[in-house]
Structure 1
Amino acid sequence: MSDDTYTLYMRFQTPDPDIGPRERAPMLAQERAWARERATLHRFSWVMVLVPPLCLGPVLPGIAFLLGLLVYQGLSTPGVDLDRIVGDSLGWLVLVTLLFMAAWVLHNYLRDKRDPTKRYWQSMPDQGLVELEHHTLIRGISLWSNDYDSDCNTLMQWIDGKLKCVQDSGVSQWILARTAAGHWLVLKEQYPGNFSYARVGQMPASDKLLQPRQQLAIAFAPGTNLQLGRRFDGAPMPLVDTPYWMSADELKRLEEAAHHWNFLPPNRYGVVNDQDAAWVQRLVDRAQASVGPQPAIDRSPARREQSPSPP
Structure 2
Amino acid sequence: MTDRTFPLNTGAKIPALGLGTWQSAPGEVAAAVEYAVTSGYRLIDGAYCYGNEEEVGQGLKAAFAKGIKREDVFVVSKVWATYNTRVELGLEKSLKSLGLDYVDLFLVHWPLLMNPNGDDDRFPKLPNGERDIIRDYDHRETWTQMEAVFATGKTKAIGVSNYSEKFLNELLPVAKIVPAVNQIENHPALPQQEIVDLCREKGIHIMAYSPFGSTGGPLFTAEPIVAIAAKHSVSPATILLSYHLARGTTVLAKSVTASRIEENKKVVDLDAEDLDKLNAYSTKLEKEGKLQRFVYPPFGVNFGFPDKQ
Q: TM-score normalized by structure 1?
A: 0.28
- Return the index of the structure with the highest Cα Rg: 1
Greater length-normalized contact order (CA 8 Å, ≥ 6 residues apart):
1
Query: Which structure: greater strand fraction?
Result: 1
